[in-house]
């Protein structure tokens, strides 16, 4: 019977740890926005412009993205440190955002539990043509787990300060 040396065992353990670390780091950047930095646009005169953003602050959850809908129309997933704009007709706007299951990965059970147990965030607005609205996605992560997600209508002055460092979500 062949014996395994301590050196071989140590090499095997270090290789496994290194591989796990690299996979973990790769997963962390997977759900982060990588497009160009924020640039403001003018709202069209006949429609409203909505910026949906998720700044990279202390909220955590950098490895997750979330489904977003506007009046039941699917929008791009909101990613950590990301934003996108969406034009809508004037009138009532119903936004919703909630957790989603990524394609595969080691954390699929955690994601499935999150989807099953988390109520989607919602926000209802009456939007006007020619206006710009800033909606911040927020989900605080704590050592006890994630809090319910929130969609927060944010004043322009506060939003522009946070959104400046966000990158366009390109999907």
Element (H, E) at 46: none
Fold observed for domain 31-168: Immunoglobulin-like (2.60.40)
Length of the chain: 171
pLDDT classification of 13: cutoffs 50, 70, 90: very low
46-104 tens-digit pLDDT? 999 999 999 987 666 667 788 899 999 999 999 889 999 999 999 999 999 987 656 55
59's CB contacts (< 8 A; 6+ apart) are 138, 139, 140, 141
Q: What is the pTM of this model?
A: 0.74
Q: Parse the chain into domains and list their residue ranges.
A: 31-168
What is the CB-side half-sphere exposure of residue 18 using CA atoms within 13 A?
A: 6
Contact 110, 130 (CB under 8 A): no
């Amino acid at each position: 019977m062949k014996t395994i040396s301590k050196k071989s065992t140590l090499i095997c353990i270090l290789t496994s740890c290194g591989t796990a670390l690299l996979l973990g780091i790769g997963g962390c950047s997977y759900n982060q926005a990588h497009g160009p930095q924020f640039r403001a646009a003018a709202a069209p005169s006949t429609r409203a412009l909505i910026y949906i953003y998720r700044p990279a602050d202390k909220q955590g959850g950098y490895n997750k993205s979330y489904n977003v809908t506007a009046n039941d129309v699917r929008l791009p997933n909101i990613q950590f440190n990301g934003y996108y704009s969406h034009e809508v007709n004037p009138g009532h706007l119903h936004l919703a955002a909630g957790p989603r299951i990524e394609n595969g990965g080691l954390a699929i059970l955690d994601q499935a539990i999150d989807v099953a147990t988390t109520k989607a965030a919602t926000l209802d607005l009456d939007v006007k043509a020619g206006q710009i609205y800033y909606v911040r996605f927020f989900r605080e992560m704590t050592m006890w787990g994630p809090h319910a997600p929130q969609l927060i209508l944010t004043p322009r002055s506060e939003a522009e300060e946070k959104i400046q460092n966000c990158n366009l979500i390109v999907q």
